[in-house]
Chains A and B, each alone.
Chain A
């Protein structure tokens, strides 16, 4: 009798495990006749929450596709997981989406560390992943057959900015304020390589930790170097503090930051208007998102206003569309016969430009585009395009 009870418990447990496994297998394809499941992670809460707008912005393009009847009859079901910019939580969210919800693909995903935490897992599971939101080279070295990049490499960012400063603005003394991690280091490679072509060197390269709130000594060093222009590869908070500190000691170089700081509205606000007053420049990876004369911008701006009126139309929200555009295009081109390989084949031959830079992927090259624009913050906080799309023609260091 006791043995029968044990057998019964074991049988129930076996059935539960089998059913769970079956459910997992059933969802593993990531789509059915009615829907395609797509996921993204991003910090919706915590100190990096402003960047969480990327994941929410993606909803606009998926909702537009669904309003048109879906892609070849399949609606997109979109999942967001809040990872608080914490890699361990990214992993938990991604595992949940892959193993329990059975997502077909991921788009975007803010941050180098969160992305690196799940990179191998997604590769092993052969999950399509387009447009990780970081320009760190670690994602493309070695080649990952299931990852396609849109976020321009920081090495290219540094190189294009430097070329602009030297060739267009004729600056002779360039300083560099950088976040003391892969971001700053990758961009420094591009900057130095470009400067070398002109026989120049950085007059100062000063690191910053993202948590630092007093940048007096860093600014003193940049000022003492005589830098006429300072390239910044730092987070919004550090950039704002650096600018405020510089003004407080009468140091007014031409500031030019990476494309991660193109939210002029936010930056102008947190710098008390100095972003506009000092005419700060940034590189940029989209069309001017406020120029509604551009048809694609008007389309998305109108949709965002209509679908998510509570959201601010800023660069991070718009970036959510940029990261999802290539996947939507590839799904459209794939047709009704959907599979991971079929979509991968389309992505491997995709030449496309939406709101972001021009993409040209091949089976062997999934690296992001190598072109950026240069913007300047105008007197009223508006975007002034000071240089259109410009390509880094120098070979990459990897």
Chain B
């Protein structure tokens, strides 16, 4: 068994899942909405970056910044036009709304850029490889993934702990009504958290498509993995999600190596097992409401 390779590949993919899982968790933490449109929002932003690079001819970094600004606005638009108008929505109602947004975004991407597969390149190529230890081949793409995941994680730590908006987001998550009484504009917090999570999702999507393929369906499978990572780490724990992503990537890679035919169901098995054994995930505190 090529232990080193499975380890490196598993951790790199796991970092992508964890990063994308963060996008799901930030919205869930703030508004308790499971955003099923997260994958497609990220997919559209990658297409925007692709469009700016390939069709308009600008360099990657310009495309990258414009795509991040675009996806932030898109996140706010989804929250403002789709979720905010819903009056006293149930959990199922919110899920259906995000599924509707998902279908709309996918249809728009297919219409605008077509269903044919495209390549999306970032400056950190999967083709350039290093072998620091025998059997551990690390591509520049994988290094970029680790660096971005570490940077985002560090940023989130300081953001939630030391910034006003981060504290407001935590307060809104803990008690929306109390936060309102304390003068926090919760509607703005929700809009900000949608923008913020969409930007993190877009980062993950750009990294994933640089290794794989860009087409309107490319984030569907990754969303499932990211969701499994979030459930595994705990939907309320930000570091837990990233660790959940790493575990998910490793489990999937090792399991896929030994029993490749069963690899696609790994994410489902993880979700079911965690929900049965520890519903709040490995790293989130299990709250029991006492009456």
Contacts and interface: CB of A to CB of B under 8 A. Distances in A.
Q: Do A and B come from one complex?
A: yes
B2 A223 contact: yes
A266 interface: yes
B42 to A, nearest CB: 13
Interface string B251-279: 01111110011011000000000000000
Interface string B119-145: 101000011010100000101011000
A216 B139 contact: no
B216 to A, nearest CB: 7
A213 B254 CA distance: 16
B13 A237 contact: no
Contacts of A208: 260
A77 B225 CA distance: 48
Contact of A206 (B141, B213, B260): B260
Interface in B53-85: none
Interface in B12-71: 13
Given A47-B217, A217-B253, A270-B213, A248 B6 contact: no
A217 B260 contact: yes
Interface stretch (B108-116, B147-155, B167-175, B233-241): B108-116
A249 B137 contact: yes
A209 interface: yes
A212 B263 contact: yes
B116 A248 contact: no
B115 A46 contact: yes
A67 interface: no
SS of A interface (majority):
helix
B208 interface: yes
A251 to B, nearest CB: 9
A266 B263 contact: no
A218 B139 CA distance: 18
B261 A180 contact: yes
A248 B126 contact: yes
A48 B257 contact: no
A45 B116 CA distance: 10
A221 B213 contact: no
B53 to A, nearest CB: 13
B117 A237 contact: yes
A224 B2 contact: yes
A270 B126 CA distance: 14
19 contacts: A47-B216, A49-B114, A209-B264, A212-B263, A213-B222, A214-B225, A217-B252, A217-B263, A218-B256, A218-B260, A220-B257, A236-B117, A237-B215, A240-B117, A245-B211, A248-B211, A249-B137, A266-B117, A270-B119
What are the 8 closest A-B residue pairs judged by CB atoms, nearest first? A217-B256, A49-B115, A216-B9, A248-B126, A217-B257, A270-B117, A248-B139, A209-B264
Interface of B: 1-2, 5-6, 9-10, 13, 110, 114-119, 121, 126-127, 129, 131, 137, 139, 141-142, 208, 211-213, 215-218, 220-222, 225, 252-257, 260-261, 263-264
